[in-house]
Structures are given as C-alpha cells and as structure tokens.
Structure 1
C-alpha cells in the first residue's frame, strides 16, 4: 500500500501539535528507488521519489524543515512567542524521532544565527570530536590499506563525541525566550504518544542492511518478520522520552554525564566486532566553539556561512566568485551555465581537499582562499569551450609552507533547518549523524549514534606528506555542511538556505543561491531545480530532471558526465516586503510553513 505524505501526516492525532491541517503535497510519495553511487562517495541517502509542493507564504514568521511534524513543532513554538533558537530546539528533537536516519542528539551540527536587533551574526560549531584515544591509523586495516567504508562505519570505531545537544543548549541560552522544558515538550509528547512511520523512513529502513543487526534498533524499527514496520505504523519511543525528560530537568549534563553517558560509552566500546574508544572523560570535555563567519560578496549580495572545520562556506565563496565573472542571468539554466558551474566546482574542491580541516590542528590560509583577486585568477583557468577535467589546488595568499597531500574524504547524509521568527531573527542549521542511520548503533536512551569519524581521511598521509583531514585525538572532521544566510546591499536579511547531501551539499547550496539571486526563481522552484555540478571528478547531472538533457552539450565540451540520483533536501526562506516565501525540497518530505 502507498501513502501520500498528506495521508501519513494526517494519520497522526491532532492533539500532538494541534496539527489540524497538514501541508499537503499535490503528488504521492513514490516507491523507493536505488541510487547510482556517486564517484567520490556513497550516496548520502537513497532516493525515495519526489513530492510536488507549492510555494509557501507567511507574514509573521516561517520555518522549513525536513518533515511536516518537525516543521509544525517549530511553528507552534513560534506561535507561543518563542524565538528562532527555541524553534530550532523543538524541530531538531522531533527530527530525531521522525527522521532518525539523518540527525539527532547522537550527532553534530553547525548553526548560524542572525540577531535582528543587534545586527549580529554568530556561528556556532557543534561538530563531533575524535576521542582522546584516536590515532591517525584508525581506519587502516590489518593489510595496511584503508578500510572499506562499510567495514569502518558500522560499529563503535566510527563514533565521534556528539555535539548537537550541547549546541542546542548553547543557542537556547543565548537567544531563547521560552523555558528550556517547554521547547523540549513537543518531542517528549511525540515520543510518548507515537507518530506514523513516513513513506521515506519506511523506504530507507527497507533498503538498509546493517541496522537490524543492532538488537535495540531491530526491536524499534522492524517487525518480528525482520521487515521494516509498515508506513503508517505508530512508532513510540519511551526511552527517548525519558532521556529528554532528564535533559529538560538537568540540561545537557544529563547527556554528557551520568547514566546516559555511561550507556553511550558502553554501546560504543561494547560492539562485538568493531568497538570504539569513547570515554566518559571525552563526553565531559566536549565544548561548543564560536567561530568567525565566512562572508563574501556576490554581485550586490553578501553571502555568509560557517568556517572550518566546515569547508562549505569557503568552497561556495570560491564557486560564486568564479561564477560572478559570467552573466548567469542572461545564460539562465542550461548546459552553458552547468559548464561554468562544474568548472567552478572543480577548482573549489581542489583547494578544499588540500587546505581545509580543523583549524586547531593545521594552519589554513582562510583569507587567501576567499580573496577576490585570488578567486578571479582561478576563474581565468576556466575555458568557455573545454572542461579542464581535473583541477589542481592553487597557491592562495597567506599560504604557509606546508607539505600536504590532498584528500577527497567520504561524507554522507544530513538534515537542514531554516527559520525566521517574528522579530526578524534568523537561524540556519545543518545537522547530521553522517551516514544514513549513523553507526547503526542505538543507545538505551532511544537515539542513534553518529559515524562522523569516517569523515576523516582514512589514509593519514600520501607519498610521505600528511593529509590535513587525518584522524587525530580531539580533532573535528572536515565537513561540507553549508548553512547559509544572504544579506542585501543594505545589510538586511534576505535569505536562509541550506541542504543535506554529504559533499554534494556545496553544489546544492551554490546552485540554489544562483537560482534565487541570478535566475530570480521563487524558493520552491529553486530548491526543486535539477542538481548539477562537479566535485573535481566527473560532471554530475541529476537523473530524471531538466539537467539530464544537458548531457550531450557538456560531453561536446569534454566533460565526463555521470547521471546520478542527487538527493538534496534544500530548505529555503526569502524575506520580502510582504513577509516570507519558502520552499522545501520535493526530494524529501519537508515543508515550509508559517503564519
């Protein structure tokens, strides 16, 4: 039996969030399809079809999130007088339940916050950290070679110290208006009363081969016959409700110490075939880092994002700086624009792979990488008639004398939240447990643990040169997550954007910005546009979209073209004189809603 998102959403009792009217798509969720693996990494999450959605509008505030129940939780918090930070806490904790494959308190996140009154942008790093016992050869097998991704990811070896809950608590302490317990209440209620399994969650569970090997996860997600519980099944999680009640009473201390922390350590270190080494000291020592935003001009706009260890904002700045040399508004979506976009991606990824990692462990020429003259010099390497194939890293200003080797790395799934509250404060947060369903470890506290350490490069060196993104104790793995805020020429907030998608996030967000700013698409059209780009490998075009038609023209310019499932999950909100206009990616189940 197939269920539309409208059907599964409205199966749930209205009392949970006063969700009297679900935001209904115009088409059904399709059956799961198996994606063709991208060249540089496994697919972040399998494709489960498209949902046709209408552009959302609101006058006072708006939220956009990857699931209708999570978005409704955020909307109801804003209706109660809450702030963008309050809504983010409620949304993330509900996502932990309804979209457990992508994010949760067992993972990490990056957050941008715009304070409309103070006119201040703050960026917070809640990325996971490697345990104190971690060593550079963590993912080298007995044969002396890097492990297969599947062998590394499942089990305790891949689990990093989670940061999401500490990040939420920090954001609430700074900008929250409602009591901490009140913003946790929607997720507690949903965990206790239950929620219907969505078509996407069912599809991903059905295609998953490792999760059912974990006894707790098997009992929660699968039936006695070993099959994923059907769409519409009401799923309850009293263990998670109990965890959240303890956190509501004692804050993040209830997670980073005490029985929850002890269980995390036992779950990680007790894995039968692939144990990890997180300790109680690792959990107690975790800290959020406030970092300087990475901002740059694009035509009349100012684009701001998260700095290293995220590579997202730097790579997007480089891509947009190269694209700024072309009249994209005149070109419009098509093969010519895709050629320039792919070449810009090649150049940005070449620099990303060589220079970017945790800034506490390596000197990063950050100002040089986003220097406009340097980026324009890189743009000069692009031929209008021929693809460069594979780009080499440049020599940015302020580069230290370091002997480094490049790394592609492996990065996977995520979720994104965009919010603007009634006071004009905005929040863009990209959040993850890395691969779909993380390390496939469920704690007694009712949440899954991340496999974030596989975002490090598996080989610590190449040809005797160290790799910047190698494993080291206490280090944060490089990320491509790119929560983004856009400001107009007068410094006013204009857009809140972000996406899941592993290392493809960079291209997803960059092409959405081009669609919004150059092609003047409304947010729903912009997020639904076919994906395209390059991560310094083949040029990737999304199957079954308008981008697929550009294949022959790109091949005529020398591009090696791959047609892929590209499962973005972009959430975009534009601020207008009348209020807000929003869009949620039809490739996932999310909605943009507000009042």
Structure 2
C-alpha cells in the first residue's frame, strides 16, 4: 500500500495539530488523577528500602529484603504483586526497563516489548491511508507486542539474585488466591474505562454482575493468575513464552475482532537485552539513565545539560538560584516562574530531538554521544531567550542522521515505578508498563496483555523519508521511561534511585524530581510533592490546582501557551540520608515506601 499524501493524513482529527513541519506532535489526555495526598512525610531507613505504586507491592519487596534478598529479588516480587493489584499500569504481560547498581557498575536491562514478525508499518493505517483513532488501534490483538518484563527480570536475577526465583512469587500467589481489597485508584480507573464492558473476560473480572465497577474495598481474587505465577515460579520465565501459556496468549490475540499477528515463534524467540546505560555529568553529580529504545535517559540528560549550560553562560540563569516558593496549594510550594520558563524551554529542545532521532538502535543508528555532547547542548541552550520559543525544531548534533522524518504521533500515557536499595550495596530503578490503561484489554490466564505497538509511529514516513520509530518486525517501540540513578562524581557513591510513570510526561516528572533533590536541596517527599510542569514541545503544561496562579500569569506574559491539566505522576524516590536512606512516594497515586 502506498502512503496517502501528507495533506490526506492530516485530515484525522487526532493528528490535525501534529501535521506540517512547523507543528508539534499531538498530546492525548493524561491518565486520570484520583486525588492528592497532602502531608506525606519522608520515610527513613538504615539498611534497605523498597518503594512501589501500591503498598502491597512495597510490602512484598520489603519481605524479600528482610530475607537477605538483593534489589532485583525485591523487584521481581514487587512486579508480581503489581500484576495483580495494579493491572491498569503494569504486569508480566507488558515490558520493563531496569537500571541496576551492584556497588561497582551500572547495568541497563531492556525488557521492552517487540513487534511480532507479522507486524508491518501500515497496520495502524485505515484503508484510505489515514491513521486509526488511538482506541481503534489499542483495543484487541493488533496492538499486542511480545511481553518482555519477565525476561528482563529473570536476566537481572541470574546475575544479581540472592534468593531462589521461586521464593519471589510467594506474596503475589498468596494475594491472588486469597484476594486483595480493590483500592480507590483501581476502582476509579475501572469506572473511567468505557472499553472494559466490551471485553468479556475483563468485564467478568473487574465488573459486578450488574456491570458496575467493583466497589472500593471489595475482595478481588484471581486464581488464574495464581496458577500462572506458580508455573513461572517453578519453571522460570519460559513458562510464559512456551507451552500452555504461550498458546493461550496467541489464541487470545488472534481470535479477537481486531486481531494481531503474534505467533508462538515470536514468544519463543524473545530475548531481553543488556545495554550500555547513558550517563553524563551534571554539576557535581553523575546521572545515569536508560538508553534507546527508551528516549527517557537521553532526554533527561539533554534537559539537565542545557540547564547547566545556561547557568555557565550567565550565573543569573543558574537553576539552583530559583528555588520553589511557598504557595497556598495542597503542595505547599510552587516552582519559581523563571525556573518553569527555563525548564519548559529546555524540554522543548529535548522533545524535538526525541521525535527526530530516538528509536530502537537495532534498527536505526542513534547518535547518543552526539545528542548528549556538552558542546551540542551548549549550542541548543543559546536558543533559549526571555520569551518562549513556542515550538522547537530538532537540532543537528555531530554525526546526526538527517535521512529521517520527525515522529508526529500522539503522545501517550500509563506505567508504574519501582525503586529499591538493598542492604548489600545494590540499588535498582525499574519502570514497567502495559502502555495505556488496561493495555489491550485482553485478559489471559489472569493477566493483561500490553498494547505497546501503539507506541510506534502510526505514520511510517513523511515526504519520502522514514520515521525512525515506524513499525518493523522484531523492533522495540520507542519509550519515555526514565529509570534513573544518581552518583556523587567525586566519590562515586550512590546518591539516589528514582523514576516515574506517566507516559511521555515521564521525562518532565523525573526532571522535576532531580532538580528538587539536587539543585533545590529538597527532601525526597518535598521534591516529589512539587507541582508538575514542563513541555512536550506543545504547550507549557502545569499541574491544575497546584501551580500558583501568579506563576501562570508570569508565564503567559513571557509568551507561553499554558495548559493547566492533571499530571498524574507516580514518582518513587530513595535518597541517601547520612548513613541511611530517605524515601518519598508520589501523593498523586497510592504508592508507598518502607524499610528497616
């Protein structure tokens, strides 16, 4: 099939604002908020700490740490529980990026989903050549990629696990068999999802016989997931990728009214990949993040590098001199308007490069060194002035591949975060996802399948040039997940592990937390509590109800098109605190931290 002309592609309402070389990608609505928990305090521990998006997952991680387990032991147990209690965000039917510190080196484990061998670049185009609406692509088998989270966890566990693999699934199996209380957030997301009622297996699981969302506090059991986890505990990750479970997955994907091409050979052939983390200096720290196919590590390092270059050029632009100010909001603080301006402008530049260059390095040469070069970032910083640039164009770093078109796909949402420090000198940051809320809505043997193929560009080429993030068989879709580790440059000592869910806004959330911790010297809870803000190279986004109105007025006076919106981060931060650790959990979700 030949692609329709660009003018035809732009007729779809979802992408209208994204077409034309001077326009940014469209942004879908963020994940719904379920309240802001004011008054949270940092959690302190001496030996070890676990933090996750649900207290039951946190408890499972702490149980493994108390048994002498490593950070990866805790993470496996936490992911298994999250599969049960937070199915809207992550699970063994999805993917994960893991950043691991064993006390000597940082390792990056890529458990991102892959496109089946039957996938093709045109699969999210309608017969007339225009892109499908997002929901049309999301629901059903067409969007399902080969899951990777379990394989990445197993790979890291083989290298760093201290407890037997089968031990790690005990808490999740017990909860699945005996039941857990439906949380307010899970209830709210079930109630907000109009597609659950159209997905028979999922409806039977998450709705009452009358078709209503399960009430808060009702006991939800999942014996099918308990059996699945028992098989994985006994047989290893291959239990999911071969045999009975693999057959159930492919059958569900291919029999749907919106079928995909996932085959048994795709599951059997999946491999997690160990990659070189992306690291760069920022002031007196060394920041390490996830490399492509995630854009998160590069974009965070670009933002910080641009901000550092601004401060070096003019001390008045040093972001450290722009701390948050008191505000009569639930957060208690609001960012300084100058800081919001500089961060939003730096992020516009980073997101522009993200759309142009970042994709699976197995298919597209990604010039990470050029994109994170201090010389290049200093050049980019010179584009920032007193007024907002509105929309940034991609730069041309040394060695850039100019034979690509920018990705103008909508920017999407939904994920989870796990952070751990163990008592053995190790630490982990893992961001894990099924993509949109409840993924593809296909429930198989107790767990949900992802819809990660919609993280590829729906439009494979523009003006005769290929989009780096187009769909190709075996390829991993670009992500914004940004698990991050921070070190002191002088001593090499670990300072912090952090990350956040939030789709394409993850980069903003991690940037905000890093600035709060490092430049503004906030404790981890205060850094997470700060109102979210930034730009995905569209409007300047600020968190509704938390950003002071005077700050918004000042931004508009400097030419910013300000969008007040829910910005539902779920950041988990653990920071060195003297001889021990302090942690902060995001007040926008129901996560927690615990340690000894």
| TM-score normalised by structure 2 residue count | 0.91
Q: 1:407, 1:467 within 8 Å by CA — same for their partners in 2? A: no
Residue 267 of structure 1 aligns to a residue whose secondary structure is: helix
| Offset, 1:430 | 0.1
- Equivalence for 2:529: 528
Aligned length: 553
- Map 1:89-168; keep pairs closer than 5 Å: 89-116=76-103, 119-168=104-153
Distance 1:221 1:439 in 2: 15
| Offset, 1:64 | 0.8
Residue 443 of structure 2 aligns to a residue whose secondary structure is: coil
Distance 1:249 1:59 in 2: 34
Which of 54, 57, 67 does residue 44 from structure 2 map onto? 57
Residue 530 of structure 1 aligns to a residue whose secondary structure is: coil
Q: 1:303, 1:487 within 8 Å by CA — same for their partners in 2? A: yes
- Equivalence for 2:395: 394
Q: 1:367, 1:398 within 8 Å by CA — same for their partners in 2? A: no
The superposition leaves residues 405-445 of structure 1 with CA deviations (integer Å, 9 ceiling, x where unpaired) of 343443310000000001120000000000000011101x1
Which of 67, 72, 81 does residue 85 from structure 1 map onto? 72
- Equivalence for 1:66: 53
Distance 1:586 1:434 in 2: 22
| Offset, 1:44 | 4.2
The superposition leaves residues 159-215 of structure 1 with CA deviations (integer Å, 9 ceiling, x where unpaired) of 000001111111211111111111111101110111000000001101110022222
Structure 1 portions without partners, runs of 5+: 1-37
- Equivalence for 1:27: none
Structure 2 portions without partners, runs of 5+: 1-23, 312-317, 324-334
- Equivalence for 2:290: 306
- Equivalence for 2:590: 589
- Map 1:216-227; keep pairs closer than 5 Å: 216-227=201-212
| Offset, 1:403 | 3.9
- Equivalence for 2:564: 563
Q: Does 1:296 align with 2:280?
A: yes
User: Aligned-pair RMSD on alpha carbons?
Assistant: 1.2
- Equivalence for 1:483: 483
- Map 1:157-556; keep pairs closer than 5 Å: 157-272=142-257, 274-324=258-308, 325-326=310-311, 327-332=318-323, 333-383=335-385, 385-443=386-444, 445-489=445-489, 490-556=491-557
Distance 2:593 2:549 in 1: 27
| TM-score normalised by structure 1 residue count | 0.92
Distance 1:567 1:401 in 2: 35
Residue 546 of structure 1 aligns to a residue whose secondary structure is: coil
| Offset, 1:40 | 3.1
Distance 1:436 1:60 in 2: 35
Residue 189 of structure 2 aligns to a residue whose secondary structure is: helix
Q: 1:541, 1:564 within 8 Å by CA — same for their partners in 2? A: yes
- Equivalence for 1:29: none
Distance 1:154 1:403 in 2: 29
Q: 2:190, 2:206 within 8 Å by CA — same for their partners in 1? A: yes
Distance 2:580 2:425 in 1: 10
Q: 1:516, 1:526 within 8 Å by CA — same for their partners in 2? A: yes
